Amino acid sequence: MASTGKPYTVIADHYRQAILSGELEPGTKLPTNRAMTDRWGVSSATVSRALQHLVVEGYVRTSPRGTYVADEATVTASSRDRLLQVQRVRSSLMAGETNIVTVAELKVPPLYVADLFDLEPGDQLVRREFVTGRGKHRTMYQGVYYPVQFAALVPDLLSTAPGKNGGLLAKVLEATGRTITHARDDMHGRDANAREASNLGIKVGAPILAGAHRFSDADGVIEYGEWCIPTRYTIGYEYVP
């Protein structure tokens, strides 16, 4: 999915995605500003503006020697980034990421989630919870819901076995023949509750960024997820106004 925004956002999004996907590893030197102006056919001011955004977001650092991918990542992928990753490589995990699944069950969801899936009272959904990390750092705690009928088509939805979680959405889309045609993200800042704090390794009441995503098509919601990240991490994505 190519960005169709302004030139500086196109450049920033290109390098942001390359860093998140692992194509550009920590410490990698980016092309010179002159090389970027030639490649993208833009002014040096446009390139500088794109790099400033990446510096502020924590993706790169600058020095008299040039611009480098940040050594210690303070960024994590958004729902939009993970959906793009699924479309590219059939996994929602970025380079260097791992996750541990702590819950995989059939569960009657809260009323607001049941309404999203247009369920009758007492109907169940598949509920999965997992912690995503990079190295020793926990970068995201997430819970996702799927229609209960998906479990018969993709048995791994009810498994906590390691190594399977990242590819589940791709398996769901393939097994069901569904295609995500609409996606929505909602985010807000708040304090971590006990469950979130335990999974992220932070104090109860510590500030977090919490959000929810919804992937759907004409037949309804395919995946609904709620997630949170510690304040030291940044997420961001491009969009067409």
Per-domain residue ranges of the chain: 7-69, 79-230
Report, as an integer, the average pLDDT of 122-128.
98
Q: Evaluate whether 77 touches 22 at the Cβ level (below 8 Å).
A: no
Give the model's confidence band at 21: pLDDT under 50 very low, under 70 low, under 90 confident, else very high: confident
Asked whether the domain spanning 79-230 has the same topology as the one spanning 7-69, the reply is no
Give the C-alpha separation, 44 to 58, whole Å: 21
Statement: the pTM of the whole predicted model exceeds 0.85 = no
Place of tokens 């992220």: 200
Distance of CA 65 to the CA centre of its chain: 32
Sheet strands (E) in the chain: 60-63, 66-69, 97-107, 125-134, 137-147, 182-191, 207-217, 220-230
Q: How many residues does the chain have?
A: 241
Is the domain spanning 7-69 CATH 1.10.10.10? The answer is: yes
More confident residue, 62 or 214: 214
| Angle, alpha carbons 236-29-21 (nearest 5°) | 40
Place of tokens 């997430």: 142
Res 6: pLDDT: 86
Q: How many Cβ atoms are within 10 Å of 93's Cβ, its own excluded? A: 19
Q: Evaluate whether 105 touches 158 at the Cβ level (below 8 Å).
A: yes
Determine which helix (DSSP H) or strand (DSSP E) holds 34, and give its type and residue range: helix 33-40
The domain 79-230: what is its CATH number? 3.40.1410.10
User: Using CB atoms within 10 A of its CB, is residue 136 exposed (0-12), middle (13-18) or buried (19+)?
Assistant: exposed
Give the C-alpha separation, 58 to 124, whole Å: 40
Give the model's confidence band at 1: pLDDT under 50 very low, under 70 low, under 90 confident, else very high: very low
Res 161: pLDDT: 92
Res 2: pLDDT: 42
